[in-house]
Protein backbone atom coordinates (compact mmCIF):
# COMPACT_ATOMS: atom_id res chain seq x y z
CA UNK A 1 0.00 0.00 0.00
CA UNK A 2 2.79 2.46 0.97
CA UNK A 3 6.41 2.83 -0.04
CA UNK A 4 7.93 4.58 2.96
CA UNK A 5 5.27 3.89 5.58
CA UNK A 6 4.18 0.61 7.15
CA UNK A 7 0.76 0.48 8.74
CA UNK A 8 -0.46 -2.46 10.74
CA UNK A 9 -2.96 -3.03 13.49
CA UNK A 10 -2.51 -5.30 16.46
CA UNK A 11 -4.89 -5.56 19.42
CA UNK A 12 -6.63 -2.30 18.43
CA UNK A 13 -3.37 -0.34 18.34
CA UNK A 14 -2.39 1.13 14.96
CA UNK A 15 1.37 1.11 14.34
CA UNK A 16 2.65 3.63 11.80
CA UNK A 17 6.26 2.90 10.96
CA UNK A 18 8.38 5.38 8.98
CA UNK A 19 10.23 2.92 6.82
CA UNK A 20 13.10 4.21 4.74
CA UNK A 21 16.11 2.96 6.70
CA UNK A 22 18.63 3.61 7.97
CA UNK A 23 17.68 7.26 8.69
CA UNK A 24 14.03 7.20 7.52
CA UNK A 25 14.17 10.63 5.86
CA UNK A 26 10.94 12.51 5.18
CA UNK A 27 11.02 12.99 1.42
CA UNK A 28 8.14 14.08 -0.84
CA UNK A 29 6.82 10.52 -0.94
CA UNK A 30 6.70 10.44 2.84
CA UNK A 31 4.61 13.62 2.98
CA UNK A 32 2.24 12.29 0.28
CA UNK A 33 1.80 8.99 2.03
CA UNK A 34 1.43 10.56 5.46
CA UNK A 35 -1.32 12.82 4.06
CA UNK A 36 -3.09 9.82 2.61
CA UNK A 37 -2.76 7.86 5.83
CA UNK A 38 -4.13 10.75 7.92
CA UNK A 39 -7.01 11.67 5.60
CA UNK A 40 -8.11 8.28 4.29
CA UNK A 41 -6.93 5.54 6.62
CA UNK A 42 -6.43 6.24 10.28
CA UNK A 43 -9.92 7.46 11.09
CA UNK A 44 -11.56 4.51 9.37
CA UNK A 45 -9.42 1.98 11.20
CA UNK A 46 -10.87 0.11 14.17
CA UNK A 47 -8.27 1.20 16.66
CA UNK A 48 -8.22 3.06 19.94
CA UNK A 49 -4.68 4.42 19.80
CA UNK A 50 -1.81 5.10 17.38
CA UNK A 51 1.92 4.57 17.80
CA UNK A 52 4.29 6.33 15.39
CA UNK A 53 7.85 5.02 15.22
CA UNK A 54 10.79 4.59 12.88
CA UNK A 55 12.12 1.39 11.32
CA UNK A 56 15.40 0.21 12.76
CA UNK A 57 17.69 2.34 14.87
CA UNK A 58 16.27 5.79 14.14
CA UNK A 59 12.94 7.57 14.25
CA UNK A 60 13.71 9.89 11.31
CA UNK A 61 16.30 12.45 10.23
CA UNK A 62 13.49 14.83 9.18
CA UNK A 63 12.68 16.51 5.89
CA UNK A 64 15.10 16.16 2.99
CA UNK A 65 16.46 19.69 2.65
CA UNK A 66 17.45 19.47 -1.00
CA UNK A 67 14.01 18.10 -1.94
CA UNK A 68 12.34 21.03 -0.21
CA UNK A 69 14.70 23.68 -1.56
CA UNK A 70 14.19 22.21 -5.03
CA UNK A 71 10.40 22.36 -4.87
CA UNK A 72 10.36 25.87 -3.39
CA UNK A 73 12.88 27.31 -5.83
CA UNK A 74 11.27 25.76 -8.92
CA UNK A 75 7.97 27.29 -7.89
CA UNK A 76 9.59 30.62 -7.03
CA UNK A 77 11.48 30.84 -10.33
CA UNK A 78 8.27 30.12 -12.19
CA UNK A 79 6.08 32.76 -10.56
CA UNK A 80 8.52 34.97 -8.58
CA UNK A 81 6.18 34.47 -5.68
CA UNK A 82 6.28 32.09 -2.74
CA UNK A 83 2.51 32.21 -2.22
CA UNK A 84 1.60 29.10 -4.19
CA UNK A 85 4.36 26.90 -2.87
CA UNK A 86 3.71 28.20 0.62
CA UNK A 87 0.05 27.20 0.40
CA UNK A 88 1.08 23.79 -0.89
CA UNK A 89 3.64 23.17 1.87
CA UNK A 90 1.31 24.48 4.56
CA UNK A 91 -0.70 21.30 4.06
CA UNK A 92 2.18 19.40 5.63
CA UNK A 93 1.94 21.50 8.77
CA UNK A 94 -1.81 21.18 8.94
CA UNK A 95 -1.65 17.44 8.52
CA UNK A 96 1.03 17.09 11.22
CA UNK A 97 -0.96 19.27 13.59
CA UNK A 98 -4.16 17.40 12.80
CA UNK A 99 -2.88 14.46 14.87
CA UNK A 100 -4.32 16.53 17.70
CA UNK A 101 -7.77 16.35 16.13
CA UNK A 102 -7.85 12.55 16.27
CA UNK A 103 -10.18 11.33 18.98
CA UNK A 104 -7.71 8.70 20.12
CA UNK A 105 -4.29 9.08 21.77
CA UNK A 106 -1.23 9.31 19.54
CA UNK A 107 2.10 8.13 20.93
CA UNK A 108 5.49 8.84 19.39
CA UNK A 109 7.98 6.06 20.17
CA UNK A 110 11.41 7.59 19.54
CA UNK A 111 14.65 5.71 19.12
CA UNK A 112 17.85 7.19 17.71
CA UNK A 113 17.72 10.35 15.66
CA UNK A 114 14.54 12.45 15.70
CA UNK A 115 15.37 15.92 14.41
CA UNK A 116 13.84 18.69 12.31
CA UNK A 117 10.45 17.82 10.84
CA UNK A 118 10.63 14.42 12.52
CA UNK A 119 10.79 16.11 15.91
CA UNK A 120 7.98 18.44 14.83
CA UNK A 121 5.87 15.37 14.03
CA UNK A 122 6.68 13.85 17.43
CA UNK A 123 5.70 17.12 19.16
CA UNK A 124 2.25 16.85 17.56
CA UNK A 125 1.71 13.51 19.33
CA UNK A 126 0.03 13.40 22.74
CA UNK A 127 2.77 11.39 24.43
CA UNK A 128 6.45 10.98 23.57
CA UNK A 129 8.50 8.08 24.90
CA UNK A 130 12.21 8.14 24.03
CA UNK A 131 15.03 5.66 24.21
CA UNK A 132 17.90 6.83 26.43
CA UNK A 133 20.19 7.56 23.53
CA UNK A 134 17.72 9.34 21.27
CA UNK A 135 18.92 12.59 19.72
CA UNK A 136 16.32 15.36 19.54
CA UNK A 137 16.26 18.89 18.19
CA UNK A 138 15.33 21.48 15.62
CA UNK A 139 18.64 22.19 13.82
CA UNK A 140 17.10 24.10 10.88
CA UNK A 141 18.67 27.48 11.68
CA UNK A 142 22.15 25.92 11.30
CA UNK A 143 21.18 25.42 7.66
CA UNK A 144 20.07 29.05 7.18
CA UNK A 145 16.39 28.15 7.36
CA UNK A 146 13.96 27.67 10.27
CA UNK A 147 11.52 25.01 11.47
CA UNK A 148 8.63 25.07 8.99
CA UNK A 149 6.31 22.26 9.93
CA UNK A 150 4.61 23.36 13.21
CA UNK A 151 7.77 23.64 15.37
CA UNK A 152 7.76 27.39 15.93
CA UNK A 153 4.09 27.24 16.90
CA UNK A 154 4.10 24.12 19.09
CA UNK A 155 7.44 24.41 20.90
CA UNK A 156 6.74 27.79 22.63
CA UNK A 157 3.35 26.45 23.75
CA UNK A 158 5.07 23.56 25.54
CA UNK A 159 8.29 25.07 26.93
CA UNK A 160 7.64 28.82 26.80
CA UNK A 161 9.20 31.54 24.69
CA UNK A 162 12.68 31.68 26.28
CA UNK A 163 13.61 28.03 25.84
CA UNK A 164 11.86 27.74 22.46
CA UNK A 165 13.86 30.73 21.24
CA UNK A 166 17.10 29.22 22.54
CA UNK A 167 16.51 25.77 21.07
CA UNK A 168 15.41 27.12 17.68
CA UNK A 169 18.12 29.80 17.29
CA UNK A 170 21.05 27.70 18.56
CA UNK A 171 19.74 24.72 16.61
CA UNK A 172 21.48 22.50 19.14
CA UNK A 173 20.46 18.87 19.53
CA UNK A 174 19.76 17.50 22.98
CA UNK A 175 19.16 14.25 24.83
CA UNK A 176 15.95 12.82 26.29
CA UNK A 177 17.07 13.42 29.90
CA UNK A 178 17.07 17.20 29.26
CA UNK A 179 13.86 17.05 27.26
CA UNK A 180 12.18 15.28 30.18
CA UNK A 181 13.28 18.07 32.55
CA UNK A 182 11.65 20.58 30.22
CA UNK A 183 8.41 18.52 30.05
CA UNK A 184 8.97 18.32 26.32
CA UNK A 185 8.71 14.52 26.38
CA UNK A 186 6.93 12.29 28.87
CA UNK A 187 9.18 9.26 29.43
CA UNK A 188 12.68 7.90 28.91
CA UNK A 189 13.29 4.13 28.86
CA UNK A 190 16.15 1.85 27.73
CA UNK A 191 16.26 1.88 23.94
CA UNK A 192 15.22 -1.76 23.56
CA UNK A 193 12.06 -1.17 25.60
CA UNK A 194 10.73 1.84 23.67
CA UNK A 195 8.15 0.02 21.55
CA UNK A 196 6.98 -2.24 24.40
CA UNK A 197 6.61 0.77 26.65
CA UNK A 198 4.69 2.66 23.97
CA UNK A 199 2.37 -0.33 23.54
CA UNK A 200 1.65 -0.45 27.28
CA UNK A 201 1.05 3.30 27.42
CA UNK A 202 -1.22 3.04 24.38
CA UNK A 203 -3.39 0.44 26.11
CA UNK A 204 -3.38 2.40 29.32
CA UNK A 205 -4.19 5.75 27.73
CA UNK A 206 -6.85 4.33 25.42
CA UNK A 207 -9.01 3.29 28.38
CA UNK A 208 -8.69 6.63 30.19
CA UNK A 209 -8.38 8.99 27.29
CA UNK A 210 -10.42 12.13 27.02
CA UNK A 211 -10.05 14.81 24.38
CA UNK A 212 -9.14 17.29 27.11
CA UNK A 213 -5.70 15.68 27.15
CA UNK A 214 -5.08 17.08 23.67
CA UNK A 215 -4.11 20.31 25.31
CA UNK A 216 -2.34 22.52 22.83
Partner 1 sequence: MKQSKIISWERIGEIGILSISNDKKNYLDQPDFVDLVELENWTKEIDLKGIIIRGIGRNFSAGANTENLQKLANDQNLLFDKMNKGKQILDFIENLNIPVIAAINGACFGGGLEIALACHMRVASKKALLAFPEVNHGLIPGLGGTYRLTQLLGKKSFEVLLNADLINTTEAIKIGLIDYISETKDAFDLAKEKLESMITDRSIEVIHSAMQAIHNSNKLSKEDALKAETELFCKLAVNVKIHKQD
Q: How far is the CB of 97 from partner 1 (least distance, A)?
A: 7
| Residues engaged in binding partner 1 (CB under 8 A) | 68-69, 72-73, 76, 82-83, 85-86, 89-90, 93-94, 97, 141-148, 150-157, 160-166, 168-170, 172
Q: How far is the CB of 70 from partner 1 (least distance, A)?
A: 9
Q: How far is the CB of 87 from partner 1 (least distance, A)?
A: 8
Cβ within 8 Å of residue 177, ≥6 positions away: 132, 188
Q: How far is the CB of 129 from partner 1 (least distance, A)?
A: 25
- Residue closer to partner 1, measured from CB, 154 or 202: 154
- Residue closer to partner 1, measured from CB, 10 or 172: 172
- Residue closer to partner 1, measured from CB, 56 or 156: 156
Amino acid sequence: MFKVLNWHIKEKIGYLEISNPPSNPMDSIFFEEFYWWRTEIVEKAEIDSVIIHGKGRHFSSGAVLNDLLGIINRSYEHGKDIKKISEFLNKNSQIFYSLKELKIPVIAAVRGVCIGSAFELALCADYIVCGEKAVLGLPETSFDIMPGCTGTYVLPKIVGKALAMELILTGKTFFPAEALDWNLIQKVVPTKQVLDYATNIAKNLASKFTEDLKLI
